[in-house]
Structure 1
């Protein structure tokens, strides 16, 4: 009987072992959620009708696959004191509040209220201190004032004499960084379209202006390629946001509150998380920040008093 019992126990243990082995083999694997990442591409002074006129395959592809808000307000209905120029525009875009809060009225940055209403990198850090942020630009105030606390900063304005060469330097540095580093949020600012508009005119009929957009589109292609070459790309969920700070009329854009050629922007929201198609309703520059934060998994704190809302996401 002892031998029989031992045999029974041995057989049972054998069957249990087989069952455990099968259980281990057939237990479903749970893959980690893709890492959420955001790339913001800012094209200064870029009219949407000129984008449509240009041979811009990368912008076209982002718009076709993504969501588009156009037109997008560059100032709110209740406040017109800030000028229709870059300082207020990029502050609206990158802080997520209008000028009555961030207090940037022009390009002098006389008394900005960034301490109370900082750029979205600061908001991301509040929620996720480990998140890495990076800024690449060739207009000095982006690096020195608006995004002054980025973890990584490249300011081509310090070395390049014009925005054409500055954009080349910005794109090269940003592309290398995007291939090799691990940022959660990156902002790339490109300035030559605005510079060309001031020299030649802001209009889709102005060949040099359209050509500048085409050159910037090539830079955007380099940035997108850098993301695709990342060794961890298959495990990442990138949201690409493209926008501008204002339009232009003639060779300027100041004091353009009542000029629709100046007082409108546009926003492209592209990536797997985007809901393709035209974004219905009225929208503003301040929508970019909550859109970026939502993708990054950051719940907006009402105490931040953001003026926009997330748009274009599924």
Structure 2
């Protein structure tokens, strides 16, 4: 999506009218054909469940947030009013191929293979239809079609690249973004939603990314003022909001919606953010995208898993599981096969994994590395994206999978620190990672944490202790424990730290568990269990946990913090 937009001329205006007529004709004829071939003898439910997935290309989370707070995005504000809004983290493939593959295929790049790290940095490439992993991880529409062919799907798209990511929507409308595609697809989607009956609709807007490339997105760091972002980029997001408003209005005008016979789940996201020079560099501002889950005739409860004061930000791979849960597709059906994300839709006001502070229980979320998918280690990226050539072999020299660890902050920290990743036990071919034990007393699950690029990697998590400590701080102790280790004779290792702070955020005391060096491990690749029990420092209100690695082969697992009374 690198071409420039051209100025509207009289000829372009005529062309616009022709396209509109063509789109309206195609919409009408296509739906007639679909209706005549659909088989559906199942009794009609009292309330029909529908889904609208909205995708704006290249939206920085901070730019969106500033525009929203300044009243520039009234239609997105309506979605927020009737739903939940937060920031999502994308994968390290901060480009359209990888980003939309995450969204629409529900897996990371180890499966959809739409990119890799090379000598020139992140390489976003079109996914290959011949790649076995790509075939075995079908897109959203193929999954829906295979599960129930009576589910009607529609796509309104202005970027041709999506044709390589998507397959089998019942209706696909396309006009290139260079020829007023966003405006034309808005009209087409509105007409379609008024006149026909899709169950799953994907509405895409591409001019936002083009405006950023042509006029600048914004600074390399997170920004907070309107003036921090280029005028044309801001205007493109505002226009996309207006277009979305027209599509939402078409839904509201449906008789089934007016009568309460339809409920709509509406999800909004983007494939990637951007920095001053563009994207595809895995920077914070590129992975920080807006995420809204909302509904019409549908109550949205707190969708983002929360433990204590830790909000587990969604990822774009969570979208398909959320849609399937809402539509009532059983979790044991083939439609779910291979999906890497988690559901964010809860039909009641009881968050599925929420818990309160309790004694003698681990209070750290995702300390066992099991919430996210485990990858195949640092040396295996050369096999994922294509041929084993010199360019991809460069990955073996220290580049990494970086998925953003759920529940931990491992991607907004100092640029001198690297992100962490999750690796499964037994990973590796050239480099053999720690192996899973078949012994009955094995308690470490399938995955463990590892460092990123050679050097120091870090992730942090904090919890509020005030509700417990106010009652019993004089007699309270804690147990801090972890499995820590490294690789053969390398001195790579990991440490686990708990920092106790007062109500002003000032450090009172800290406890550090250092991982074993190569000698302590007898130069073996393994993790060793370590534990410390101490009194909770008086005046503690908050505790911050830090996991740091020295080198990419510093390993950790089963990170635990328990309060003892």
Report 1 or 2 for greater relative contact order, CA contacts < 8 Å, sequence distance ≥ 6.
Answer: 1
Instruction: Name which of structure 1's ranges 123-132 and 275-284 shifts more when overlaid on structure 2.
Output: 275-284
TM-score normalised by L of structure 1: 0.81
* Separation (CA, whole Å) in 1 of partners of 2:327 and 2:217: 35
- What secondary structure does 1:261 align onto? helix
* Separation (CA, whole Å) in 1 of partners of 2:244 and 2:237: 10
Q: Which has the higher helix share?
A: 1
TM-score normalised by L of structure 2: 0.46
Instruction: Name which of structure 1's ranges 51-60 and 168-177 shifts more when overlaid on structure 2.
Output: 51-60
Q: Which residue matches 1:227?
A: 251
Q: Which residue matches 2:94?
A: 84
Tell me the alpha carbon deviations over residues 151-202 of structure 1, each in whole angstroms, 9 at most, x when there is no partner: 0000112xx525xx11001111111111111111010110011111111111
Q: Which residue matches 1:99?
A: 109
Alignment of 1:298 onto 2:329 = yes
Q: How far has the Cα of 1:221 moved from its partner?
A: 0.3
Check conservation: 1:67, 1:268, Cα contact below 8 A. yes
Check conservation: 1:124, 1:298, Cα contact below 8 A. no
Report the RMSD for the aligned CA atoms in angstroms.
2.0
Unaligned runs of 5+ in 1: 1-30
Q: Which residue matches 1:4?
A: none
* Separation (CA, whole Å) in 2 of partners of 1:125 and 1:108: 23
Check conservation: 2:54, 2:204, Cα contact below 8 A. yes
Alignment of 1:119-198 (within 5 A): 119-142=139-162, 144-157=163-176, 161-162=178-179, 165-198=180-213
Check conservation: 1:241, 1:268, Cα contact below 8 A. yes
Residue among 289, 293, 309 paired with 2:342? 309
Count of residues in correspondence between the two structures: 270
Q: Which residue matches 1:210?
A: 234
Unaligned runs of 5+ in 2: 1-43, 116-123, 219-225, 306-310, 348-565
* Separation (CA, whole Å) in 1 of partners of 2:270 and 2:288: 9
Q: Which has the higher strand share?
A: 2
* Separation (CA, whole Å) in 2 of partners of 1:274 and 1:107: 36
* Separation (CA, whole Å) in 1 of partners of 2:126 and 2:301: 38
* Separation (CA, whole Å) in 1 of partners of 2:332 and 2:169: 21
Q: How far has the Cα of 1:33 moved from its partner?
A: 2.6
Check conservation: 2:127, 2:165, Cα contact below 8 A. no
Q: How far has the Cα of 1:276 moved from its partner?
A: 5.4
Alignment of 1:44 onto 2:63 = no
